[in-house]
Structure 1
């Protein structure tokens, strides 16, 4: 356990061994006492130091260290009769008793400070352990968890992208097949239009042929009627000729009778024979001409009718062929329409299914990206916590080093011999009133550490120190 003696010497965090033994102030005058050879840490200095440690620990990114120069605990004006006068031993005994009492009180206070310092050390160790745990946790999260999760999500994203690419290729093939079928359908429609035009032309030709056939039929009927009239005329002429012949024969018979009765009359038989021969030749000629004309007309009409019949038969045959082609094309068009409808329905179903799957994939990708963003935010939060703990650790390390230097300085200084301390007490002079005032000098060190993170990763890190003397 450390002892304590009153003193008012200014504490230097880095004491010089050549100046530790002095007890003078800034102006060279005596400003305090130090009795015995025990190590001493003033109560007000220890209390101020612990106050500064606790106050500095509350700020993780800013470490402030103060080294305070303090005034004497008390002055002993009654111990002096003038400057440079020596004290008697009775007064020294009284002062010694008072110093012993003060020393006892300061020992108790220093014990409390030591207990607090031990608790502080335990707290520092606990924080270091927590810091190590947090560092291990951050390293584990940084090295394992995000990588594994990212690899898993990236593999799932790659699988989803492959499925989307396969579906896109399948959709492109279906669209190409649809376009080919549409082209075939357009070609078939064009062929159907051409066949319809050919059918219309055939029907027009058939109508024209029918008009020709009707005209030929009318001409044939007219010719038949004329033939009948000619035949009737020929029959009538035959009857007339026969009547004339009979009349002539009757006349010839009568004339023959008259010739027999009258031989002196001229012979009319030769004349009648000539007349008959002339009439017969004329009738035969007329009959031959009529038959010839009738045969020629009948032959012409027969040829025209045969020709029209051939054309009509050919037109009917072509019309039947066109009808068969139209029926086959109609059946083919109906089949293609059914195929096109089924393909369009399949395409719509595939588009709807692809749209639903794409929406599901987009939702999955958005969810995975949201999880990745959440993991990055959590990793950034862990990094910030780690950085805060690291800043706290650095501040505590600096404060511990400073406090260790203060303790080492005090331990080195308590090795002053007892007689030197007592002699310095005898040579103690009264401090001037203006020097007994409270003097406080503060040295503040500000450490600013800037860490820039982006998407949970440390991008840059900078440290800046500022020294101020208050």
Structure 2
């Protein structure tokens, strides 16, 4: 082949800038055969590239500026922060690999080449390579945006991790503070209840001592009352005996008075009889004196004097006996009357004492009943208060238990969120490694890289959205 014709069909340097990707892929460990096996267009591109080398010789040496977009993309991907919205996605379906067309055009039935078609092939190849460079630049920018989004999500993850650690550091302290405050209030209420119980016990002991003293006094007064009633019974018996004695003496006095009256009447009758007899004797004496001798008169006078002395003596003895009997009966009556008066005074005094003791016993009984009723009321009141305090203590213990359970549940949820976050961190790191690996393989398999990047971007967006929604919802639920 003449050199002039070879110079005429030699492709320009700018149009062959994609060919070093094959070297890059082989240098990074991906052979052309594996790239060709992974995709049909890659197979055609490898075949056409090998045939082109056999037809036109080795490719010209390329300057480092040919890969400026790749190095700049790597540098920008290592330092960019996320600014893309979560809803952004890569639309790579419109990317069309130029290698398939170039391979189809370069694929010839033999090793001989028609040089008349070189100019048209060169123009088409230049247009295809310029479009491929522009699409690769756009793909690199979108890939950088994805890396920025990943960095932004990492920053959000770090911020959420800080908020979570801060919340985990503050929430238990606040819960412990509330629990300690509740425990202090419960202890203070228990101390108040203990002091109130001690005071009530002291009052109860004092009331019990007063009640014992009142019971002892009541027993003494009851014993005194029984003694007084026994004495009263004895006094009543004595009074009855004295009354019977008085009645007996009164009957005796009446009988004696009747006897005295009878004796008086008898004496008066005897006196009248004697007087009548004396008068009759005097009359007879006068008559006798007148008729009888003086000796008979003297005898009658002696008889009359004798009868008069006998009558006077009998009258004097009767009067003395009556007076002695009357004096004895009067003394006995006076003695019985004095004893009766003393018995009546003692009975009245005993009755007054019994009434006063009865009133005092009734008052003490009423006081005892009032104290017992007050003691029962205090016991019921303290029982109700103790029941209320016990119910309040049980309620506060139940609230404390619920708070502890809720705190434990929150800690479990925080642990679950932390596990989810760690799993997402691991998945993001895995995606980052995959992205870096795909970035190194970017120049050898464009169509497979685009499809894989589309799937990877969709998966990253889905996982990031789910993670952000789940974590924000959990944080709002736990802290609000």
Q: Identify the residue that residue 401 of structure 1 maps to in structure 2.
A: 433
Q: Identify the residue that residue 5 of structure 2 maps to in structure 1.
A: none
Query: Whole-Å Cα distance in 1 between the matches of residues 17 and 283 of structure 2?
Result: 210
2:275 corresponds to which of 246, 250, 260 = 246
- Whether 1:319 and 2:345 are equivalent positions in the alignment is no
CA contact (8 A) 2:44 2:103 kept: no
Q: How far does the alpha carbon of each residue in 1:374-427 deviate from its partner, in whole angstroms, 9 at most, with x for none?
A: 77766666655554444332211111012223334568x89xxxxxxxxxxxxx
- Whether 1:110 and 2:120 are equivalent positions in the alignment is no
- Whether 1:307 and 2:339 are equivalent positions in the alignment is yes
- 254-263 or 153-162: which moved more? 254-263
- Whether 1:151 and 2:187 are equivalent positions in the alignment is no
1:31 corresponds to which of 43, 50, 56 = 43
SS of aligned partner of 1:133: helix
Task: Report the CA distance between 1:163 and its aligned residue.
Answer: 1.9
- Whether 1:139 and 2:165 are equivalent positions in the alignment is yes
Matches within 5 A, 1:49-68: none
Task: Report the CA distance between 1:330 and its aligned residue.
Answer: 4.8
SS of aligned partner of 1:174: helix
Q: 1:399 to 1:211 in 2, by over 3 A?
A: same
Query: Whole-Å Cα distance in 2 between the matches of residues 178 and 4 of structure 1?
Result: 108
SS of aligned partner of 1:31: helix
Q: Identify the residue that residue 128 of structure 1 maps to in structure 2.
A: 154
Q: Identify the residue that residue 463 of structure 1 maps to in structure 2.
A: none
Task: Report the CA distance between 1:142 and its aligned residue.
Answer: 1.8
Query: Whole-Å Cα distance in 2 between the matches of residues 4 and 360 of structure 1?
Result: 84
Q: Identify the residue that residue 259 of structure 2 maps to in structure 1.
A: 230
Write 1 or 2 for the structure with the bigger share of strand.
1
Higher relative CO (Cα under 8 Å, sequence separation at least 6) belongs to 1
Q: How far does the alpha carbon of each residue in 1:196-237 deviate from its partner, in whole angstroms, 9 at most, with x for none?
A: 974994797376666556555544544443343334234323
Q: 1:39 to 1:92 in 2, by over 3 A?
A: farther
SS of aligned partner of 1:119: helix
Q: 1:270 to 1:377 in 2, by over 3 A?
A: same
Q: Identify the residue that residue 163 of structure 1 maps to in structure 2.
A: 189
CA contact (8 A) 1:213 1:308 kept: yes
How large is the RMSD of aligned CA atoms in angstroms?
Answer: 5.9
Q: 1:290 to 1:147 in 2, by over 3 A?
A: same
- 198-207 or 116-125: which moved more? 198-207
Q: 1:395 to 1:40 in 2, by over 3 A?
A: farther
**Structure 1 unaligned blocks of 5 or more:** 10-14, 42-56, 59-71, 415-441, 445-455, 457-470
CA contact (8 A) 2:236 2:347 kept: no
CA contact (8 A) 1:209 1:312 kept: no
SS of aligned partner of 2:45: coil
Matches within 5 A, 1:15-414: 19-24=29-34, 31-33=43-45, 76=103, 79-80=106-107, 100-171=126-197, 173-174=199-200, 177-178=203-204, 181=207, 184=210, 188=214, 191=218, 194=222, 198=226, 201=229, 205=233, 215=244, 218-219=247-248, 221-250=250-279, 253=282, 258=288, 261-262=292-293, 267=299, 294-330=326-362, 385-408=417-440
Query: Whole-Å Cα distance in 2 between the matches of residues 16 and 275 of structure 1?
Result: 202
Write 1 or 2 for the structure with the bigger share of helix.
2
Query: Whole-Å Cα distance in 2 between the matches of residues 241 and 17 of structure 1?
Result: 193
SS of aligned partner of 2:348: helix
Task: Report the CA distance between 1:134 and its aligned residue.
Answer: 1.8
**Structure 2 unaligned blocks of 5 or more:** 1-15, 50-58, 70-85, 88-98, 446-454, 460-473, 475-480
SS of aligned partner of 1:20: coil
TM-score between the two structures when normalised by the length of structure 2: 0.57
Query: Whole-Å Cα distance in 2 between the matches of residues 90 and 383 of structure 1?
Result: 73
Q: How far does the alpha carbon of each residue in 1:116-148 deviate from its partner, in whole angstroms, 9 at most, with x for none?
A: 222222222222222222222222222234313
- 335-344 or 122-131: which moved more? 335-344
Q: How far does the alpha carbon of each residue in 1:169-218 deviate from its partner, in whole angstroms, 9 at most, with x for none?
A: 41464366357647855985893894897499479737666655655554
SS of aligned partner of 1:144: helix
